[in-house]
Amino acid sequence: MLAAAGETKRNWLLNRCAVSRDTVKKVLRNDSLYDRIDLELKAVGGVNYYGLFQVNSAAEFFGLLALVLGLLVVLTAIAIVNGANLIAVVLAGLGLFILTYNRYAGKVKKYKARVVSDTELPLVLQTIANAVEVGIPFDNAIRYIVRTKKGIIRDIMAEAVAIADTGVPLEEALLSVADRALNRRFLNLVRIVGQAKKSNANVRDLLLEQIDEIDEEARNAARERMGKLNTKLFFPIFIGFFIPTIALVALPMLVSFMGLGIKF
């Protein structure tokens, strides 16, 4: 109970510093950034900042950045008054900004990676493809997934099924929650089925094509990571192996040239 009260107080502070969409638009001159961050934060269930703040919306996220900026201004003023190292204070503030953003970006990145993992969207696409191949209706396949599977995609579908149970067509319900997947393949899934009902297209082939494209994207991402890893490893290897090796070869020659009479 005390913990809940403490969290309420911290959220109160964050809410007081919340920044509106119009303000972000005026400052950054970007219409989509606020909406994208708001969508991602709500999709991943918010981001907890080391037990200090729970950020669940773009308004709170930009409010947190405003708090960090305010803290930096105060520390800068204190540094100037006391003759402290101003550069160190600025670098510390910049590091805090980067940590704040990276904590949000890191959680979103993990969420997106999980959505396309083998037990999530590819498995759901395969299950639906197999179901429609044997004549099971799309709606029944979705409800089967909700009953038997676990994970992010299953939870999104469960929300859509709950909406459909109020009388909304399931396809419309899925479209209304599709953004939560943070992946266009999920939206493609709903569109494929909708188009297939009108044109009698081969749903199974279209769904399997989506799986192939997810696999191809994963392979490309893996190759890209390997390329970056090789670049990152070059300098440690160069410093830790090649420079000592060059020194071991060159040092005897240098000593010999200096005529010190040292034999190696």
State how far the Cα of 9 lies from the Cα of 54, in Å rounded to an integer.
11
pLDDT over threshold 50, residue 63: yes
> Do residues 68 and 96 lie in contact, with contact meaning Cβ atoms separated by under 8 Å?
yes
Burial (0-12, 13-18, 19+ Cβ within 10 Å), 226? exposed
Over range 2-8, report the average pLDDT.
Answer: 48
CA end-to-end span of the chain, whole Å? 73
Over range 85-105, report the average pLDDT.
Answer: 83
Write the CATH number of the domain with boundaries 119-216.
Answer: 1.20.81
Return the pLDDT at 264.
44
Return the pLDDT at 114.
92
Report for 28-42, 107-121, 231-245: range of highest mean pLDDT: 107-121
State how far the Cα of 121 lies from the Cα of 58, in Å rounded to an integer.
26
Instruction: Tell me the pLDDT band of 110, cut-offs 50, 70 and 90.
Output: very high
pLDDT over threshold 80, residue 199: no
Lowest mean pLDDT among 46-55, 71-80, 108-117: 71-80
Domain residue ranges in the chain: 31-114, 119-216
Instruction: Say which residue, 263 or 240, is predicted with more confidence.
Output: 240
Instruction: Tell me the pLDDT band of 28, cut-offs 50, 70 and 90.
Output: confident
State how far the Cα of 214 lies from the Cα of 184, in Å rounded to an integer.
11
State how far the Cα of 243 lies from the Cα of 252, in Å rounded to an integer.
15
Return the pLDDT at 9.
53
Return the pLDDT at 260.
47
> Do residues 124 and 92 lie in contact, with contact meaning Cβ atoms separated by under 8 Å?
no
